[in-house]
Structure 1
Amino acid sequence: MASKELRVLTLEEVAQHNTEDNLWIVVDSKVYDITRFRNMHPGGASVLMDEGIPGQDATEVFYSLHRHEVLERPQYKRLQVGIIQGQEPKIHATIHDGAISKVPYAEPSWLVDGYYSPYFTEASSGSSHRRFQVAVRKFMDEYVYPDAQARELDGKRPSQSVIDKMAEVELHAMRMGPGKHLKGRTLMNGVVKPEEFDYFHEMIISQELTRCGARGYGDGMNSGCVIGLPPVLNFGSPELQARVVPEVLSGKKFICLAISEAHAGSDVFGLQTTATKTEDGKYWIINGTKKWITNGIWADYFTVGCKTEDGFTVILVPRSEGLETKPIKTSYSPAAGTAYVTLDNVKVPVENTLGEEGGGIFVMLSNFNHERWVMCCTSTRGQRTVVEECMKWTTQRKAFGKPLNSQAVVRSKLAAMIARVESGQNWLENVTYQMCNMSYREQSNRLAGQIAFLKMYCTRTAQDTATDAVQIFGGRGITQSGMGHFIEHYHRTVPFDALLGGAEDVLADLGVRQAMRSMPKDARL
């Protein structure tokens, strides 16, 4: 269908269309005929007849009430009948079009022109982080963002078509971090070689995915794989890896981590799920329950923590007879697939044991650092999105005849938000650099406390930022649609980060205890 030809009009011509039966307005140099739309306007027809709107330039009024994305919707694009002679559109809202935002502090400094980084390589480099970021953002904006917005609303699982697209460019494999599992794979259509891929590349993936602003969907987008598959990669037998890893990284099968229970969350040793061997020693018989299991609803495999005769053991359990899942309703979207899992005499071959019997704590400790680090990546990026929303809103929204950002109290809140996100990002980049230069064992010994502190800091500052953002947006900040819907969503879902991967207080204590173990014996005041 051919697009209609737009007329070139003057402001004087538009001004003649100012009645209920012939109503035009101008928004950012574009002329819209809203005559028939008037009675469908969600705010009521009378709003559109207010003084200063009929036949006039309503740009300022529009952006005080609506997001730019409204104009991008097909049903509203069809209302455009012309453009204003001699004018060009002035507003570019960087609505997931792959561009770098020009709003101050909306991007980490390494992406901003004129700034430098000791960690991220530029486009001229062979293993360019910048070139990789461009490719990942384009992919996320084109394929993931639209699906994220739709699934967050309808609560359905992330679309298999998007999962398949991610598999085509090996995003599932890259989200496991650098390692031997990347060997022979073509990463992001060859933008980075497997041997060059590092934790900064992985950080880029996590932070670009977070820009979708859909918390439940974000967890539903194979987060179970990010935390459930590494124990298989690092501790599974070669035969188990050969069978499970390819089908999971291809997006054909799904996996989750099943550790927490109703009686034991951060207290791993308090688990009550048991695994006992059959008399012939060939199988485990598993009984118990697991709670708050991300992606559990549609998982084909469950990386399960069990109490065994030798202590705490981790076992890979396929969905089979005796294993059932049911959804848990939480503050965020069912798109996360959060599940309550029951295991009733589930029979699993002993070959599915991950690591040594009784050595499950080592399997999980090696996993916890990476899981918490990923959450730090997503938390800092989520805060930055809130900063951008607030910077835009306080510029375009007027109160008492002036922009919101003319008020010192509002600027004070913005200052605190910016300071928190910048400090979190810079601490994160330092820790990431250490990860790139330490072995897995060194990371476990040296970074467990650092990452625990960082996660505690990120999640606490995130909640402060969420509270400040709601105050800035006012009633819109608690409304699930319209101008403040990202803020409402963020404020409602941000507590998840403070609990998943270890509660804040537990992680803070972990960091201090690790520091105390390293105290020199001869240290005195």
Structure 2
Amino acid sequence: MADKVIGGSFVITDQDASQILTPEDFTEEHRMIAETTRDFVSGVVVPQDEHLEKLDYDLTVKLMRSAGDLGLLGADVPEMYGGLGLDKVSSTIISENLARASSFALSIGAHVGIGTLPIVFFGTPEQKRKYLPDLATGAKIAAYCLTEPASGSDALGAKTTARLSDDGKHYILNGSKLYITNAGFADIFIVYAKVGGTDFSAFIVEKGDPGFTLGPEEKKMGIKGSSTRPLFFEDVRVPVENLLGEIGKGHLIAFNILNIGRYKLATGCVGACKETIELAVKYANTRKQFQTPISRFPLIGKKLADMNIQTYMLESMVYRTTGLFDTMLKDIDPSASDSGRSAAKAIAEYALECSINKVFASEVLDFVADEGLQIHGGYGFIQEYKVERIYRDSRINRIFEGTNEINRLLIPGTLVKKAMKGELPLLQKAQALQADLLSYIPGQTFEGTLEEETHLVSMAKKVFLMVGGLAVQKYGLTLEKQQEVLSLLADMMIQIFAAESGLLRTKKLIERQGETKAEHAIQMTTVFVHEAFDKIEAYAKEALSTMEEGDVLRTQLSILKKLSRRSSVNTIGLKRDIAARVIQGEKYVISSSM
């Protein structure tokens, strides 16, 4: 991997393909980790699937400890505290391959991610020595407690309070938490409360503390095999040494951990998409209508092609982000006293990318799950077929870890904040572009492989800068109130990051395999980039029409039209080719040579 990249810089600079991590860069160790995880899921978890879906606490905990024995719970825990201290590629691979375990994957994900990482990043040495070894093995299970009945997206509006006892030895907690994953069997709870009713802070609370009780299991639409219960605190005495981080600095922990949660959620979506494609194409190859396998019908093929294309872009995006993390983390000494906070700060550099991953992944999985169910027809509505469960389970992802609406506001908002701090020359780039736009004359011709697609990604960034620059210029400090415009800017950034991630990955494939073997990836990239550009142009038109009118609007739309000039592509023909390979391979396919 190359030099460290500033978060959000992808909208103003172009990266070289050699700078990004792709799944094709995995080492032999990475592939062994993937195989170990797959074997655990298929050999240990799947045979117990029916019991797990009935919410069997004891079985879930038993299997989580089995995962701990294999090291699957300790990837992100430093070696000095009983974990494996692996790179983020390894923990991402584990998360992706656990996805086939359905709700059980969520139980593990909540434990290793938002449950354990607050202590990894922000715990004192004493807290780490006390809790992390057991969390790394599954001897104890963790849960994360942020949401309350009256505060979901507004996390800092929490009502739970913490008061220092008269003897100064305990914080006394009162309040409640809602929708807590793993609540039914967790031992360690990361709980947020306001000290003195004002200072938002985090605490490590242990199961069995007097006054700490659980409500009943929620009856959920999906993820039925995971425990989701409310918590109640009535004068719960938490030792002062269990304060996590500093008083009044709980938001730093909460928001940093949510970044990780968003990225890990996207990782799980990759695995779920791949499984859904496999289920759908195998069904389509065996299900006959009019004496013909339905996979031979072009409209079914189109669905399979679109599912595969979207998953390819998602996978490319997720591992590109993983590579950014590892590059940023490589110089941190894990034995340093402040290593956890340094790691959290490094990951926070890509908070914007984490939100992009979360939104794109959750919506791609919803699309893939919906199309997968549709391919199954009436059988997809029957619980005997797993695609029915995948469809129900997928819906929560657009709500988890901050709703997609909140994340859409965060994406451009974070970018503008970085620009205001001088971390990105965003406004300077936008101003320079405005000076060039009126004289811009399109007319390039493209002959080489993916040359036009490379140009389109570059033009998409210019379109974003044009629209984003106008938005900042028009609204100034009140831009945050223009949620519809912010959402459109976010959608443009999401499509740009996805398109560029897939484009760069495909270029690496061409360099390694040659164009013939990379033809499948080339076709997927061509389709996605052109369709993404269509969306970006539409988002830009809507935003411009919101901000301007009359002659000014006509001028801006004219400029947009020049920036958007491109050739037509036979996407139907390309998708037929893509579908043929997916149908032949009966799984998610990235290469022409299967």
For normalisation by structure 2, the TM-score amounts to: 0.62
Q: Tell me if structure 2 keeps the 8 A contact 1:169–1:186.
A: no
More helix by share: 2
Q: Take 2:83 and 2:152, find their aligned partners in 1: how far apart are those partners? A: 38
Equivalent of 2:305 in 403, 415, 427: 415
What per-residue deviation string (whole Å, max 9, x for no partner) do you get for residues 372-419 of structure 1? 111111011101111111111111111122111222211121121111
Q: Take 1:236 and 1:479, find their aligned partners in 2: how far apart are those partners? A: 46
Q: Take 2:313 and 2:174, find their aligned partners in 1: how far apart are those partners? A: 45
Identify the residue that residue 475 of structure 1 maps to in structure 2: 378
Q: Tell me if structure 2 keeps the 8 A contact 1:323–1:341.
A: yes
Letter in 2 for 1:315: F
Equivalent of 1:258 in 125, 145, 154: 145
Aligned pairs for 1:19-98 (under 5 A) are none
Asked whether 1:509 is paired with 2:409, we answer yes
Q: Take 2:364 and 2:23, find their aligned partners in 1: how far apart are those partners? A: 25
Q: Take 1:251 and 1:132, find their aligned partners in 2: how far apart are those partners? A: 18
Equivalent of 2:45 in 114, 132, 144: 144
Q: Take 2:380 and 2:368, find their aligned partners in 1: how far apart are those partners? A: 12
Asked whether 1:231 is paired with 2:118, we answer yes
Identify the residue that residue 245 of structure 2 maps to in structure 1: 355
Q: Tell me if structure 1 keeps the 8 A contact 2:267–2:318.
A: yes
Unmatched runs of 5 consecutive residues or more in structure 1? 1-115, 188-193
What per-residue deviation string (whole Å, max 9, x for no partner) do you get for residues 62-96 of structure 1? xxxxxxxxxxxxxxxxxxxxxxxxxxxxxxxxxxx
Q: Tell me if structure 2 keeps the 8 A contact 1:222–1:254.
A: no
Give the paired residue count: 389
Seq. identity, %: 24
Structure 1 residues 234, 508: CA separation in 2 closer, same or farther (over 3 Å shift)? same
Asked whether 1:304 is paired with 2:194, we answer no
Structure 1 residues 513, 473: CA separation in 2 closer, same or farther (over 3 Å shift)? same
**Displacement of 1:117 after TM fit?**
5.0
Letter in 2 for 1:171: L
Q: Tell me if structure 1 keeps the 8 A contact 2:33–2:94.
A: no
**Displacement of 1:273 after TM fit?**
0.7
Structure 1 residues 171, 333: CA separation in 2 closer, same or farther (over 3 Å shift)? same
Asked whether 1:437 is paired with 2:348, we answer no
Q: Tell me if structure 1 keeps the 8 A contact 2:83–2:133.
A: no
Q: Tell me if structure 2 keeps the 8 A contact 1:317–1:352.
A: yes
**Displacement of 1:449 after TM fit?**
0.6
Aligned pairs for 1:291-370 (under 5 A) are 291-309=178-196, 311-319=199-207, 320-326=209-215, 327-370=217-260
Equivalent of 1:460 in 348, 360, 363: 363
Asked whether 1:121 is paired with 2:22, we answer no
Asked whether 1:404 is paired with 2:291, we answer no
Q: Take 2:372 and 2:305, find their aligned partners in 1: how far apart are those partners? A: 12
Asked whether 1:203 is paired with 2:92, we answer yes
Structure 1 residues 155, 162: CA separation in 2 closer, same or farther (over 3 Å shift)? closer
What per-residue deviation string (whole Å, max 9, x for no partner) do you get for residues 442-489 of structure 1? 5444310111011101111111222212221111111001xxx21100
Identify the residue that residue 132 of structure 1 maps to in structure 2: 33
More strand by share: 1
- SS class of match (1:211): helix
Identify the residue that residue 490 of structure 1 maps to in structure 2: 390
Structure 1 residues 231, 186: CA separation in 2 closer, same or farther (over 3 Å shift)? closer
Q: Take 1:225 and 1:184, find their aligned partners in 2: how far apart are those partners? A: 14
Equivalent of 1:449 in 342, 352, 367: 352
RMSD of Structure 2 on Structure 1 (CA):
2.1
Q: Tell me if structure 1 keeps the 8 A contact 2:23–2:319.
A: no
- SS class of match (2:307): helix
- SS class of match (2:190): strand
- SS class of match (2:73): helix
- SS class of match (1:420): helix
Equivalent of 2:158 in 249, 271, 275: 271
Unmatched runs of 5 consecutive residues or more in structure 2? 1-20, 330-342, 420-425, 435-594
Aligned pairs for 1:144-223 (under 5 A) are 144-153=45-54, 155-174=56-75, 177=76, 181-183=78-80, 194=85, 197-212=86-101, 214=102, 216-221=103-108, 223=110
Identify the residue that residue 513 of structure 2 maps to in structure 1: none
Letter in 2 for 1:235: F
- SS class of match (1:226): helix
Asked whether 1:389 is paired with 2:318, we answer no
Identify the residue that residue 316 of structure 2 maps to in structure 1: 426
**Displacement of 1:272 after TM fit?**
0.9
Structure 1 residues 136, 306: CA separation in 2 closer, same or farther (over 3 Å shift)? same
RCO higher in structure (CA 8 A, sep ≥6): 2
Q: Tell me if structure 2 keeps the 8 A contact 1:158–1:220.
A: no
Q: Which has the greater radius of gyration?
A: 1
Name which of structure 1's ranges 244-253 and 504-513 shifts more when overlaid on structure 2.
Answer: 244-253
Structure 1 residues 304, 121: CA separation in 2 closer, same or farther (over 3 Å shift)? same
Q: Tell me if structure 1 keeps the 8 A contact 2:262–2:354.
A: yes
Identify the residue that residue 376 of structure 1 maps to in structure 2: 266
**Displacement of 1:207 after TM fit?**
1.3
Letter in 1 for 2:128: Q
